Structure 1
Amino acid sequence: MPLAWLGWQLSATLLKDVKPSYEGLFRENQELKKQLRDAVLALPTPRLNEVLNITERFEEDLFDVGNEPGRVSTVTDDKAIIWPSAQCVQSFLSYGKTWTSWIHCAFHHPTFERECAIFLGGGTNSANADDRHPFWLAVFFSFMCATLIFMDEDELIASGASADLSLLHNWYDSALYFLHQGDYLRNHDMRTVQAVAILGIVFTNMGDSKLQSLIWSSAIRIAQSLRMDDDRANLHESAIATQVRRRLWWTLVICEWLPVPYRAPCITAADFNVDIPTIVNDDELDAVAVELNNSPRPVEYHLQMIKISRLIHSFRSSLRQTDGQTRQISNLVLRTDEALAEIIESLPSHLQMHQVPTDEALADEKHSPWIAWQRLNLSLSLLYYRIVINRVLQDQWFQDPETFARTRAICLSSAQGIISLSAQFDPSLARHRPWYLYPTRDQASRPITFT
């Protein structure tokens, strides 16, 4: 007879003789409840209140004020589009190459110029829209409105653009219109990603920061479906295509990891395998043979923003993995602040704010006016993110006098630096509207309009 069967018979016989009382069952039930309750209480509970950043809530409130709820598009069909003249497009291409293309890094500028020349050859009007793919037209109008928003009144007049004050709204809505015409969420195309990356300069200024967070996530997913996030999947592409793809991908990552106000990112460093772009100009990429030199290049700004985004993303991820202990958070803040200082120390000489300019440097800036503006933008960005790092300790300031003194001094001096640098460039306030750099005064107060 099997031993298991004998064991079962023995247990059944013993149970017949056991007659538990009501009191015994009640006590056992209460004990089980207590054990379950203790198990729940023993679970780790993150003390998020200790790292709660009330300043980020203030930023959210400011950008909520800037949102334009119920905004109605000014473009619902081709007839509503204000088509720019050939003179205007040529002027914008020249202006954008200097002031905006190094911000979005969405395309190879010489290639885009050639595409525009073909488009202009047919005449820019609504009937000509069928001659180009809607996604290309989305890129075109994204570029036009992103360039327009950087111009002051004199530059706008000199460009030959229409005197219609609703031009920005029209071109912005035209870009979105052609994205929807191409059914971009179903028909994945790299030009969709390019258009969204360029529109990143404009969204907040149009009161569309909520739309930006959603469409930016969609652009990342589209890029992933196109395998733009994996160098190994694109070994067949040309040198130009490789650099364009890498620059564009990192634009998506930079803005996803450095959003203002902060939102949880939809991608992590482990989700992609893309090298940083090469330090080379678009014109150098386009040339058959070129002798490289040590002169400043616009893409170097992009590389510094990649470093900053990596650091801040790592900082925020580590912060949310802490158990809320003051000392643990303080050490993380100190390490990150030191890492940011190392980035500042390693900046190329033409991007260092306090570097005494040489005659050669002054000559470079005269020939390439974007150098001074990159230096300003990067300095403002570094000051802002130094505040972002150190303000995490604001709830611990009164618990630790030493930490209080250090972080308070850093935040105040950085804020004063931002105000001082911004005041120096008030005559060119129109260019204080980049998207992922810092929350500028005009962005934080209301959407910028030309009406």
Structure 2
Amino acid sequence: MDARSQRRRLACAECTRKKIKCDKVIPCRNCSRRGRPCYRLPQQTTSERAIQDCLQELQATLRVVRQSQTATPVLEDGTISVPSSPEQQSLLPEPVPSRSDRPEMHSAGVNEDTEVEDAATILEFLAWGRRKVPAYGSPHRSLGDVTLDDELDLDETSHLRLTNDSPLDLLQLLLPKPKCLQEIVRYHCDCLLWYHASFHAIVFQSELGDFVNKYGCNVQNANVDLQWVALLFAVLTGSMTCAPPTVALSWGFHEQERSAIARRWFKAALVCLHRADYTSNHSIYSVECIATMTMSAHMLGHSNSHSVMLATAVRIAQSLGLHLLGSSAHDHPNSLVRKEIGRRVWTELCIQDWFSIPFSESYLIHLLDFNTGTPINCKEDDMVPLPDEVPTSVTYYRVLYQVARLMPWLQDDMAKLNTLYTKYEHVLRYDAQMRTLVSKVVPLFLKNAPLHPSWPCYVPWARHCLIISLAHKIIMVYRKFLWPSFTNLAFSFTLKTCIAASKTILRECKQVAEEEGPILWIYHAFAVAASIILCLDLLFQPPLDAEHHGHRELVEDTIAILSRSNSSMIAKRGLTILRLLSRAEEGQSLPGSSQHELAIR
């Protein structure tokens, strides 16, 4: 049997050493009777092995590049001009100037395989706990999610462990007191809903009022829809995962309980969906629940399983007709709120589907297969359409939706082309198209206009998110040419652009870390992606490069920020990757350091 498919060892280290039966509870009965310390031996995770393998491949590539003596670029850089306007420079990063002291780069055998399967992409996916789709029939298989639960010394047979067959009484124990419950929900509506807009705040809070006042917070009441309870747990999980420690403490949750209860609430949402047979009994609540869970799924280490949940949500949404809602201009006043809820959650599903294209090189929702319009920019108390310059809870993701719409077009167009030249030419055009789009659709209050006292509290956070997200989308556009850009002069524009985008992300994340806003999953995920690019650039450029110190400083700052997170699996995995890359770069820059020494460090 493949060692990777074995279950986690539960027997303690002492019983394993003595080869005696262990009751698998820490501390176990044997160690307690003998007065010996009881603990489990740490096991190397699959992601750690994958990171080491990727670094070995990276070192082999570096050796090939350094041994090359002649340049063989595929095409001349600069043959295609990419226009930019002053308006575009405020949000999207521009390429950094060429380095005069960078040695001549050489082609390292660019082909269709290395174009896709590159170190930068693989390492970023490992930070998410995911892998690029392997070839069918390969020995690799999905190993499932690696979550924070895997680090707990809990007996897997514990009667408190949540499973799909857990009684509803156990779910009831997870709910906080009504006052605390409403405070946590209110935080999500006021401080997080702007990010995903997957439900209607006033409608949900009204339903919560009925749950508290009419049904006594009893999840077993016959009038309580378990799929709505799943949405409630998703909302609670989002708040507890993303709220800064001071806010969680104001609810009475210290760091240890906060981390544990967030994981339990996430699992409780899944249990509720299962108990409600949501794949057969289709409801808007299950779609809202799954869309809302996105902001906590990645942080808690459920990226793999959640991608399947999102695909399920798309099918449920289609069965409910959410893809055929048309424009709000034709809505009857009595159905306006209901249809807008449908448009909002459908739009969020589109955003998640299209921005996940790099993982599978495919997507579920085709632009020609739905007519649902963009949600209107409005306040939820009156639903009256407002100009784009008025900040509302849907403004941010309306902008993101417009950018996301470019991704399936890019994917389809790239699939039709046959040479690297024409593909790269197309990527450059999409870069220009994205910059033009951003200059037109981003309202002034999300740029650099002075903050107005009447604006919602989330406007500064939305600004940070938009800068970080747009910079990452630029990297996404160039992703297939990022790895060759480290060694091939033909793609030097890609390298300059991605380095500029990475520095933008890291500087913005550093600023976010100094504030008391929500801790969103993209801060960790995109910071890791940006740091990986800078680390790879450090490995390929000479140690005395003028930008060497600045890049290393940004990476070190990111490592320091990620190390302060106790509840993010992306941060934990990212730390492992960045520390290994930093160690490799330091070993390379030491005089007399050999590749063998670097490999065994």
TM above 0.5: yes
The residue aligned with 1:417 is: 504
Moved more, 226-235 or 415-424: 226-235
Q: Which amino acid aligns with 1:79?
A: D
Change (3 A) 1:212 1:429: farther
| Corresponding residue of 2:520 | 433
- How far is the alpha carbon of 1:437 from its aligned partner? 10
The corresponding residue for 1:392 is 480
Matching of residue 404 in structure 1 with residue 496 in structure 2 = no
CA-to-aligned-CA distance 1:318-362 (integer Å, 9 cap, x gap): 222211x1220121111111111113312101111xx2x33xx33
Check whether the contact 2:475–2:498 (CA below 8 A) recurs between aligned residues: yes
Q: Which residue of 2 aligns with 1:92?
A: 184
Q: What is the deviation of 1:243?
A: 1.3
Report whether the alignment pairs 1:306 with 2:306: no
Structure 1 residues 386 and 292, CA gap change in structure 2 (3 angstroms): closer
Q: What is the aligned partner in structure 2 of residue 40 from structure 1?
A: none
Three-state SS of the structure 2 residue aligned to 1:283 is coil
2:542 corresponds in structure 1 to none
After alignment, is 313-322 or 411-420 more displaced?
Answer: 313-322
Compute the displacement of 1:249 (Å): 0.2
Verify: 1:77 aligned to 2:167, yes or no: yes
Once the 2 structures are TM-superposed, how far is the Cα of residue 119 of structure 1 from its aligned partner?
Answer: 0.9
- Corresponding residue for 2:236? 144
When residues 142 and 440 of structure 1 are mapped into structure 2, their CA distance, relative to the original with a 3 A threshold, is farther
CA distances 1:91-116 after superposition (whole Å, capped 9, x unpaired): 12321122221222122111111111
Alpha-carbon distance in structure 2 between the residues aligned to 1:164 and 1:122: 29
1:292 to 1:386, Cα distance in 2 relative to 1, 3 A: closer
Alpha-carbon distance in structure 1 between the residues aligned to 2:386 and 2:406:
34
CA RMSD of aligned residues (A): 3.0
Instruction: Decide whether the 8 Å contact of 1:152 with 1:430 is kept in 2.
Output: yes
- Deviation, structure 1 residue 246: 0.7
Shift of 1:433: 2.3
Give 1:161 deviation, angstroms: 5.2
Q: What amino acid sits opposite 2:493 in the alignment?
A: R
SS for the counterpart of 2:526 is: coil
Q: 1:406 to 1:108 in 2, by over 3 A?
A: same
Is structure 2 residue 379 aligned with structure 1 residue 281?
A: yes
Q: What is the one-letter code of the residue matched to 1:362? A: H
Kindly provide the CA deviation profile for residues 114-158 of structure 1, in whole angstroms up to 9, marking residues without a partner as x. 111111114655565444111111111111111111112210121
Does residue 164 of the first structure (1) align with residue 164 of the second (2)? no
The answer on 1:317 being equivalent to 2:412 is: yes
Distance 1:327 1:310, change over 3 A: same
Residues 9-24 of structure 1: pairs in structure 2 closer than 5 A:
none
More divergent stretch after superposition (99-108 vs 373-382): 99-108
* Pairwise CA distance, 1:180: 0.8
Residue type at the aligned position of 2:494 = T
Q: Does 1:186 align with 2:303?
A: no
Q: Is this contact kept in 1: 2:354–2:407, CA < 8 A?
A: yes
Find out whether 1:58 has 2:153 as its counterpart.
no
- The aligned amino acid for 1:121 is N
Q: Secondary structure, in 3 states, of the residue corresponding to 1:432?
A: coil
Residues 92, 261 of structure 1: alpha-carbon distance in 2 compared, 3 angstrom cutoff: farther
Counterparts in 2 of 1:430 and 1:77: CA distance versus 1, 3 Å: farther
Whether contact under 8 Å (1:197, 1:251) holds in the other structure is: yes
User: Equivalent residue for 1:229?
Assistant: 323
Structure 1: gaps (5+ residues): 1-46
- Shift, 1:211, TM fit: 0.9
In structure 1, the residue corresponding to 2:116 is in which secondary structure?
coil
- Please tell me whether the aligned partners of residues 102 and 299 of structure 1 are also in contact (alpha carbons under 8 angstroms): yes
The equivalent position to 1:68 in structure 2, one of 143, 146, 153, is 146
Give the Cα separation in 2 of the matches to 1:232 and 1:394: 39
- Residues 401-420 of structure 1: per-residue CA shift (max 9 Å, x gap): 3x433221111111111111
Residue 26 (structure 2) aligns with: none
Corresponding residue to 2:359 among 244, 259, 262: 262
Distance 1:127 1:284 in 2: 31
Q: Any unmatched runs of 5+ in structure 2?
A: 1-110, 131-143, 151-155, 529-567, 575-601
Give 1:327's match in structure 2, choosing from 401, 404, 421.
Answer: 421
2:306 matched to which residue of 1?
212
Give the share of equivalent positions with the same residue, in percent: 20
Shift in CA distance, 178/128, structure 1 to aligned 2, threshold 3 Å: same
Question: Is contact 1:230-1:274 (8 Å) kept?
Answer: yes
**Higher mean displacement: 100-109 or 254-263:** 254-263
Taking a change above 3 Å as real, the CA distance of residues 334 and 105 of structure 1, as seen in their structure-2 partners, is: same
Distance across 1 between alignment mates of 2:573 and 2:248: 19
**Higher Cα Rg: structure 1 or 2?**
1
Decide which structure has greater helix share: 1
Cα deviation for residue 400 of structure 1 reads 6.3
Distance between the aligned counterparts of 1:330 and 1:415, measured in 2? 20
Contact 2:286 2:313 in 1 (8 A): yes
Question: Match of 1:336?
Answer: 430
User: What TM-score results when the alignment is normalised by the length of structure 2?
Assistant: 0.60
1:423, distance to aligned residue in structure 2 (A): 0.5
**Cα 1:57–1:207, aligned 2, differ >3 Å: closer, same or farther?**
same
What is the SS of the residue equivalent to 2:382? helix
Distance across 2 between alignment mates of 1:145 and 1:128: 20
Contact map agreement 2:377 2:388 (CA 8 A) in 1: no
1:64-86 Cα deviation digits (max 9, x unpaired): 27932796753522222311212
- Equivalent residue, structure 2, for 1:23: none
Contact 1:110 1:283 in 2 (8 A): yes
